[in-house]
């Protein structure tokens, strides 16, 4: 297929790279041109605007940090909506708010353009190695048409339904679950450290108990306090954004999420203590400080 890809950060670069490896023609755009140029040697065409990346393609992917960043590349005379053809589809893989996803679907429909929401689970290494989990929602025929693209980027695709915002609600809920795991690891490790018990030995037991690579990977990062890994982790600022969005969604359906509120407050504390550039697993430092343990950064 002929594709566009807008947003070549830690996740987008790996995703676009795998589409190229699968034999698709890919036009790429990134606000920082150097990131787009890095894929040129692998066969990508570098576009000079989001509209150019969306022009004369079957689909254009977007992978941006938040609602605002996505809106900046969708709208305007140089935006995706301006360049997207009538038979083409905008596939948003960004983790965005439910309300904004609804708005995008409505505005694409008004413009006569197709829109699929397909956020992903996985860290940058998973994006690079085609190990993402893709959660897709939108018109069933369109989702079926573009499923081979999801397969080219991930290890499994889950189709959620016909409303694109359903995929965003699921993604935010999933990120809340991961954040909850970070919180519980942080609390357990801190308690054991204060008691003089080997928290790394505890991690071995938990890995055996749950048998989850997510527990193993994040548990190891927290146990070893490897919070500063440029290019590999998930930024704490983005974690705060996602927890805020899931709280916003829960409030819109009148569903209390007290644990999410607690975690949001801990992320705010982390930001106030200069952890913005660290991995979101550095939530552990907030809990450790509250318990009187030193910050080992």
List the catalytic residues: 171
What are the angstrom distances between the C-alpha of 20 and each of 12, 41, 44, 147? 12, 11, 7, 16
Three-class SS state of 100: helix
List CB contacts of 252: < 8 A, sequence separation 6 or more. Answer: 98, 99
The CA-CA-CA angle for residues 108, 113, 119, to 5°, reads: 65
Residue in 55, 287, 99 with CA at minimum distance from that of residue 189 = 287
What are the angstrom distances between the C-alpha of 127 and each of 98, 102, 189, 190? 23, 26, 29, 31
- Supply 66's token pair: 């938040």
Residues 142 and 106: their CA atoms lie apart, in Å, by 16
Residue 268 backbone phi and psi in degrees, to 5: -60, -45
């Amino acid at each position: 297929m002929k594709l566009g890809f807008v947003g070549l950060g830690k996740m987008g670069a790996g995703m676009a790279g795998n589409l190229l490896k699968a034999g698709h023609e890919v036009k790429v755009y990134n606000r920082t041109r150097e990131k787009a140029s890095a894929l040129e040697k692998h066969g990508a065409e570098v576009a000079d605007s989001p509209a150019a990346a969306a022009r004369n393609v079957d689909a254009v992917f977007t992978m941006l940090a938040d609602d605002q960043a996505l809106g900046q590349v969708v709208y305007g005379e140089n935006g995706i909506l301006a360049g997207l053809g009538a038979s083409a589809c905008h596939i948003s893989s960004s983790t965005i708010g439910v309300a904004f996803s609804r708005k995008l679907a409505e505005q694409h429909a008004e413009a006569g353009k197709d829109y699929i929401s397909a956020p992903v689970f996985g860290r940058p290494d998973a994006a690079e190695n085609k190990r993402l989990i893709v959660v897709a929602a939108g018109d069933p025929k369109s989702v079926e048409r573009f499923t081979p693209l999801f397969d080219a980027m991930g290890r499994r695709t889950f189709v959620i339904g016909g409303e694109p915002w359903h995929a965003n609600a699921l993604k935010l809920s999933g990120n809340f679950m991961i954040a909850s795991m970070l919180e519980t690891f942080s609390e357990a490790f801190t308690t054991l450290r204060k008691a003089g018990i080997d928290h790394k030995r505890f991690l071995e037991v938990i890995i055996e108990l749950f048998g989850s690579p997510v527990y193993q990977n994040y548990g190891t990062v927290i146990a070893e306090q490897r919070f500063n890994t440029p290019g590999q982790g998930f930024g704490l600022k983005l974690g705060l954004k996602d927890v805020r969005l899931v709280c916003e969604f829960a409030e819109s359906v009148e569903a209390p999420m007290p644990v999410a509120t607690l975690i949001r407050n801990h992320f705010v504390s982390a930001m106030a203590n200069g952890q913005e550039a660290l991995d979101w697993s550095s939530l552990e430092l907030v809990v450790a400080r509250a318990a009187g343990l030193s910050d080992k950064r």
